[in-house]
Amino acid sequence: MIPQEEIDKLVSQLEQDRVEKTISRTDTDKFGEAICSFANDLPNHNLPGYLLVGVNDNGSRSGMSVNEKLLQFLLDFRTDGRIVPPPALTVSKFTYPDGEIAVVEVQPHFLPPVRYKGKVCIRVGPQKGTANEAEERILSEKRSAFARTFDAWPCKGSNLDDISIELFKLRYLPSAIDAETLADNHRELKQQLASLKIFDLKEDCPTYAGILMFGNNPRFFIPGSYVQYVRFAGGDEASDFEFEYRFDGDLTTQMGQMDEFIKANIVKMVLPELGGDYVFSYPLRAIKELLYNAVIHRDYQSNAPVKFYEFSNRIEISNAGGLYGKARPENFPNENDYRNPAVSEAAKNLGYVNGFNIGVKAALAALKKNGNPEPEFLTNQPTSFLVKIFKR
């Protein structure tokens, strides 16, 4: 976080494209739009932007008292899914004789365009608003130059015929773009795809995220892009298997089918004790969250599929790729990072996940509520991740 003497300089300046001042404690849209615009960094400063809460336009402090509730409210923009892909931000409190201020420091995102409630928010100097067609193209091309994750790379050798345009337009576009922007959308198809990380304009081909989410045959380009389900009769892989199924094809369709499959085949009601509530062998929320976690965070450069194995006393879900980035065995699951941020964004827009960095925590809470034993996570392997979920 920036030191206080630098904050003092920002407070005294007129608002510009790296500073937003406000005295409101509750203007959610103003906060979200400012954070989104700083993450997009349209002027390409490659420097953080600052939201200053408790400061008047003229630089004077409003006399506000900043409590933990306000700081948490601002920090929630990092993980609650209103801004996609999730922004990198920090929140701090600074104290002065005439009042306290909350400062949100937002880093430029390496995977623009960033959207708040489906809108690409930008600012140039004091002017702020929604990106037009030309500005979205600039952001998309900037992403192409700095993409660091596999899912954002261009899938060379592919073309538009390798993805389902119908699936993109009918299923995804309405969920990813706000209604007003969608109604006024005159952008040509490739630019629409590029704005949502599905297409690379410079290489003139879909990205790997586009192939994964909407590909007609993803395994042609990404051989390990499927989920292998096996039900074993006993407690280990040496026992006979009773049923096998492969979730194959685009993730937009397959993640929905996984949800229905878990409901129909895995979550079974267990007779309650007299007068007790109905319980299940496994809670739906836990299995779904942990399976989606494996699909979203796996290493797609590996040819190994996600393994979804059901034994007589447990379920094991494993994927290629260990903990990534800031996530470490000692801070899991409280810290998270995104091996596939474009895929994570698409899953959030489609409603398969509710927010960022909450899936594992939600699964743990669901298992505890249902009375299942605590799951076991194998987090110390550099090339794989495994969770064991025990039957109630």
Would you say residue 138 lies in a domain? no
| Same domain? 11 vs 113 | yes
Render each residue's pLDDT in the chain as its tens digit; 392 residues: 778 888 888 777 766 789 999 999 989 999 999 999 999 999 999 999 999 999 998 888 899 999 999 999 999 999 888 999 899 999 999 999 999 999 999 999 988 999 999 999 999 877 889 998 889 889 988 876 666 789 999 999 999 999 999 999 999 999 988 887 777 777 889 999 999 999 999 899 999 999 999 999 999 999 999 999 999 999 888 888 899 999 999 999 999 999 999 999 998 877 666 566 677 899 999 999 999 999 999 999 999 999 999 999 999 999 999 988 888 889 888 888 889 999 999 999 999 988 777 889 999 999 999 999 999 999 988 899 999 999 98
DSSP state of 94: E
| Same domain? 116 vs 213 | no
Give the separation between CA 42 and CA 142, rounded to whole angstroms: 9
Would you say residue 191 lies in a domain? yes
Would you say residue 132 lies in a domain? no
What is the predicted pLDDT for the residue at 367? 95
What is the predicted pLDDT for the residue at 210? 97
| Same domain? 120 vs 10 | yes
Measured between alpha carbons, how far apart are the two ends of the chain, in Å? Answer: 46
Helix axes 251-265, 284-297, angle to 10 degrees: 150
What is the predicted pLDDT for the residue at 237? 86
DSSP state of 129: E
Would you say residue 133 lies in a domain? no
| Same domain? 208 vs 277 | no
For every residue of 156-199, DSSP letters joined together read TT--GGGB-HHHIIIIIHHHHS-HHHHHT----HHHHHHHTTSE
| Same domain? 247 vs 172 | no
Q: Of 219, 244, 264, which residue constitutes the final position of a domain?
A: 219
| Same domain? 204 vs 250 | no
Q: Domain range for residue 113?
A: 4-127
Would you say residue 187 lies in a domain? yes
Domain count, the chain: 3
| Same domain? 184 vs 333 | no
For every residue of 73-84, DSSP letters joined together read HHHGGGTSSSEE
User: Which token pair is 64?
Assistant: 């506000």
Give the separation between CA 49 and CA 66, rounded to whole angstroms: 20
Q: Of 97, 127, 157, which residue constitutes the final position of a domain?
A: 127
Would you say residue 245 lies in a domain? yes
What is the predicted pLDDT for the residue at 2? 77
Give the separation between CA 23 and CA 263, rounded to whole angstroms: 48
| Same domain? 236 vs 340 | yes
Q: Of 219, 250, 281, which residue constitutes the final position of a domain?
A: 219
pTM of the model: 0.83
What is the predicted pLDDT for the residue at 354? 81
What is the predicted pLDDT for the residue at 275? 60
Would you say residue 190 lies in a domain? yes
What is the predicted pLDDT for the residue at 222? 97
Would you say residue 310 lies in a domain? yes
| Same domain? 152 vs 63 | no
Give the separation between CA 219 and CA 273, rounded to whole angstroms: 47
| Same domain? 112 vs 168 | no
- At 305, which CATH number? 3.30.565.60
What is the predicted pLDDT for the residue at 251? 97
Give the separation between CA 217 and CA 283, rounded to whole angstroms: 32
- At 116, which CATH number? 3.30.950.30
| Same domain? 245 vs 326 | yes
Give the separation between CA 136 and CA 132, rounded to whole angstroms: 6
| Same domain? 214 vs 234 | no
What is the predicted pLDDT for the residue at 172? 94
Give the separation between CA 78 and CA 9, rounded to whole angstroms: 26
